[in-house]
Amino acid sequence: MRKSKSLSALIFFAIGLFLLGLSNFVDELRAYQGAQVGIYVIAISSIILLTGFSGQISLGHGALMAIGGYSAVLSYNHWHFPMLLAFTFGAAVAALAGFILGMAAARLSGPYLAGTTLALAVGLPSLANQFHILGGEQGLSFDIGEAPKWIADKTGGDFTQYKWFFWISVTCTLFTMWFIKNLLQSRFGRTWRAVRGNPSAAALSGINIGRSKVLAFTVSSALAGLAGALLAMILGLVAPMAFTLTLSFTLVTGAVLAGVSNLGGSIIGALVLVVIPEITDAVATHLGGSEKISANLPGLITSVLLILTVIFAPNGPQLHKRNKSGKAKTQ
């Protein structure tokens, strides 16, 4: 087990180096999209962890991202936290919110839980208008600046801000994926799967179901908070408009496309979300079609993909049968 852990760490490290190296060969647009993919991977993973592994539903992850984003920006702008600490702070505050929400969530299930989290996603962003410190409708600006000089010098040439975003996003994403992967293989991961699979059996085996659910909600919220902070970074601001209901639904869509119980699939989900508008734009341009087509096509394609996924590969394109993970539990 120890050997496989260090091997997986090595693999993640290698992928990271490769991606960072790759950033020297892509233009700014792709670097930005790469950063976006990273953020979606983290956000979708947080939903997969919650829904796929602990069996809870959240339609309000956009709100948790908002909490993370606003906390990171406030700590960075007002208390002058260093960037990394600001991101951690964003994740921590979102975790705290998730902990409180999780206490309520542990008592609810199915549509009731979905409704509660949905209400959060609807209501929370409008808080920004109630407190002056949150900057109202136009939000708060967030400029992390350029890459440190020593990094820019080392890699040589033109180190744009988008490339710096890509570096930060990729690093955070890989770290997060490594963390979740290990967490899911730990006692906590096994507990969550047991609770999701059969709560009664899990309780009989001595698992505290409530505590397990709250913990899953807390960890998931921390990840959503981190994604929110990173989103604020690439946008250069936090504003209520950035964390709408649409974002929450987009994330759930991404998670379903990924296969809700398949962590690796989050990369597919994130790629689909970022790449589809790009493809439809190219198609519409080649067809000489209007922007009305390219504006509406992504929604259509995503919906079709969603339906196809649910019909043909309900557990995601990678894992077709959930009972595989069922076997894992019995090990």
Q: Using CB under 8 A as the criterion, which residues of the chain lie in contact with another protein when the complex forms?
A: 4, 8, 11, 15, 18-19, 22, 25-30, 32-34, 36-37, 126, 129-130, 132, 135-139, 141, 143, 161, 177, 181, 185, 231, 234-237, 239-242, 244, 246-247, 262-265, 267-268, 271, 275, 277-278, 281, 291-292, 294-296, 299, 318-319, 324-325, 327-328, 331
Q: In DSSP terms, which residues pair with 141 in a beta bridge? A: 237
Half-sphere exposure of 76 (CA within 13 A, CB side): 27
Smallest distance from another protein to CB 205, Å: 20
**Cβ closest to another protein, residue 50 vs residue 258:** 258
**Alpha-carbon dihedral angle through residues 283, 286, 290, 296, given to the nearest 10 degrees:** 0
Query: Least distance (Å) from another protein to the CB of residue 159?
Result: 13
Pick the closest to residue 129 from 246, 227, 241 (CA basis): 241
CB neighbours (10 Å) of residue 96?
16
Q: Give the residue from 141, 168, 171 showing the smallest Cα distance to 69.
A: 141
The structure tokens listed for 220 are: 């998931």
Q: Considering the complex, what minimum distance in angstroms separates the CB of residue 290 from another protein?
A: 8
Give the CA distances from residue 316 to residues 22, 59, 311, 313, 323, in Å, rounded to whole numbers and listed in that order.
28, 19, 10, 5, 13
Q: Give the nearest distance from C-beta 243 to another protein in angstroms.
A: 9
Least Cβ distance, residue 177 to another protein (angstroms): 8
Closer CB to another protein, 129 or 198, in the complex:
129
Burial class of residue 135 (count of CB atoms within 10 Å of its CB; 0-12, 13-18, 19+): buried
Shortest reach from residue 152's CB to another protein, in Å: 15
Structure tokens at 154: 């080392």
- Nearer Cβ to another protein, position 119 or 241? 241
Task: Give whichever of 95 and 232 is closer to another protein, judged by the CB atom.
Answer: 232
Nearer to another protein, 8 or 109 (CB): 8
Nearer to another protein, 12 or 99 (CB): 12
Q: Give the contacts of 233 (CB within 8 A, at least 6 positions apart).
A: 72, 142, 144, 165, 168
Residue 113 CB, nearest distance to another protein (Å)? 25
CB-nearer residue toward another protein: 61 or 95: 61
Closer residue to another protein in complex, CB, 68/102: 68
Q: Tell whether the torsion through CA atoms of 36, 38, 41 and 43 is positive or negative.
A: negative
Taking the alpha carbons at both ends of the chain, their separation in whole angstroms is: 14
Shortest gap between Cβ of 291 and another protein (angstroms)? 4
Give the residue ranges of DSSP H helices in the chain: 2-22, 28-47, 54, 61-78, 83-105, 110-123, 149-155, 161-185, 187-197, 199-204, 209-235, 245-258, 265-286, 291-312, 323-330
Question: Minimum distance from CB of 264 to another protein (Å)?
Answer: 4
Nearer to another protein, 115 or 277 (CB): 277
